[in-house]
Amino acid sequence: MEDEALRTEVALFRFGVISELVASRLEPGELTELIYQKSEQHWNIPGSHRTRVSAATVRRWLRLYERGGRELSALMPARRCDRGCLSHGR
């Protein structure tokens, strides 16, 4: 899959996980419980063989989404540069 298409698919998946959490005002206890429920589910995660996401990951996606102005692009994974790139900071 093309890199940009996969990044978009991952962002859409992440939004699907957190959409219920950002769509309504929840009390802190309710939010914690829903995050826990999300972390207990099995998911078909694009570009990954994993099937679960941790509660910490769900919280991180929430923070990214809020800090990113509630834009889908805030949930896109960073571009990787681990093949064919020169290392800076040697």
Give the residue-averaged pLDDT of 11-36: 94
Residue 90's pLDDT is: 43
Tokens of 82: 């681990």
85: helix, coil or strand? coil
Where does the pLDDT of residue 38 fall: very low under 50, low under 70, confident under 90, or very high at 90 and above? very high
Q: 39-87 pLDDT, tens per residue?
A: 999 999 999 999 999 999 999 999 999 999 999 999 999 876 665 555 5
State CA 84 to chain mean position distance: 26
**The pLDDT value given to residue 87:** 53
Q: What is the pLDDT of residue 36?
A: 97
